[in-house]
A and B are shown apart, each in its own frame.
Chain A
């Protein structure tokens, strides 16, 4: 086959995959295993959740001769009902990229040379011993729940610090703070069933057709069955989701706050808000001085006054959304006879006003009473398979503790000391470094206050995913006393600059549990062996903990002198799980999970015993035992008809209310200008994001030939009018430049997305084209989540740049 035929063949594969995707539930081929499948009777099928996004689809994994040979959508899974997106079909191939990391590697001079696991574990333990407070663990929403729990216990109970944070800080942190500010407890009250019941779906700065395609398909399927679902897309760029929308509204970056205030203004002024719901269930809040997440209580009249400036005229001027569209939105929210679901993800979260915008979205649903009935829900989606389970629930964040506890509360620290059986005072009251701060300190010379000397990264790729990497990552590599340890499955931008690289097992090469966007906890078993010497991240942590114990570090012992991660076998004797040959003598996941489960009750995030998850395709918490001994999940939280914690006879009860009176808070948050806006020097907006084929930094999906071929490299999307002005066309190289760096990218016009005039979009999956060298590290004051969605940029034809540089 010549190169052209090959290219054409690849192009047809890509188009066919995309067509299947667009057809979603109507593609019969989609429920067949992919081409690697062999249907022989010797293929063993087992369930596992998909490795990729936060949707949490379940797949059936076919294993033959110790290898994953087939993947099929799991017909029994309520999330995806047998369907998968293009990433899910190929998840089995994620294990088999040619360049898996298979041995620990230590940097010696310019080279990374193989070393033994014993040596690697010893090096890490000695780096910790050097100064435990200067050691930081940086993890991810791809950690399994037991791994995250082990990581949290290692740092918080063992080292007595809180220098642990996770990449979910970059994607979900503002959602968390928005929930806390509104309900006093984190995570959506609704669930995916809302998508089957809503009459109106509003996507706020969100592109579920590409990012959560299996969820989007539930809505599109309903339409193709003849049901009417009005789809309203509100965003800064035309996306594939816009293509399906009845109303597609474009707003100026950052002005979503003005739109939300404008809708609330109209609801209040027209008297079309849900008075009965608000009077029974809500209170009003505004920012306090100094600003806190709880703010200050205000009256309805004060709320009304604060909204007064957000007239349709003013909002149109601020946002670019027409008065007519604004009135249309307010009209829908004002109706009691329709059910409205809002979906959002990175748009409102990666925002310097992320907490504020999240609070406003909840506020609109509360104010209008579109809450708590199937189809009426404000729903925030997650991007990673366990951003909820491992990060938000387990508390692998610098200010958090497991089960929704926080470091700041003495009683929460004491509860965890009791569960962990460690001496009083072991759980420090000093909050650790959040992601941006952790990396800033790691990249600052020690003598200038850079008090983080060692960072251990697991299951994430910060050298590609952090914002402004020139500032947050690169300087550390020039400082002699800074040491970077990275556990991963493939070489990445981060492993390449690491001092020590550890090869990890992935997905069904280990046991695992994850929690998806709808409070669903899912479980799977190890089905195949990891390659070479690759080993579980959980084992790596426990092994270092034990080495520290051997070296005399008292923190790795509990009050009774036992190893913090002591696990007893059936004979009642401790199993040496820190030795790889014994790690699977017991189910370490089950032990860790059962211990973690004890932490989940205070915020009513009750989990069932491990064995219940073995039987199920996930269960949504709170999972409460019934009189007959069975375990029942909860679909609609705070709703009397479904949530077992709502008092009998009440329709709604916000039982974690910050005002302690069962009320949720409707916030007023004003529009504020963005931290950096286009000007004469940098006249464009730059937005970054994802594409359907690749998962996050592409470190796994770029190893899957079908996905790599379908989307081989990053590009810059721009508006045709801008392209004409610049004299560039499809495929032309341009230089995109911000105050932080520049990058050459090919132009893509009229593709799947189209930015409005004056704005650019670049996906971040391509490690050869690191767009995050250009993005801002400015972040939300509460969530500390950076804003990847807007900064000022300029774009020039490459030839002109070259001419100028001569």
Chain B
């Protein structure tokens, strides 16, 4: 589950999950819904992603989303589904396909993931992530 949060010149997401892995998955889904303007993304291609943990959960989240932006930019891929495992590092599979403007819609070009107001909170139901993007 995620929802888009907006501010005058920027955009972000609030993503929840029963554990931190699910919250990371939903944050990524939310990010691609912004990039594609909510187009349906099929599972045609998968990419394995591994990210070493070099700081706190927040930094790991920024690294995770930044890696996906990089893959999107270089390989022109969009992803709609994710499996994330986090222990001493993040190991994930991202499922998606080549970006097609006509099929996926035309959203916003995300320049980067901001540390500004970045937050990962634990509550009774699990985890809530708040993250903003520079667009």
Indicate whether A and B interact: no
Chain A positions within 8 Å of B, measured between CB atoms, are none
Chain B positions within 8 Å of A, measured between CB atoms, are none
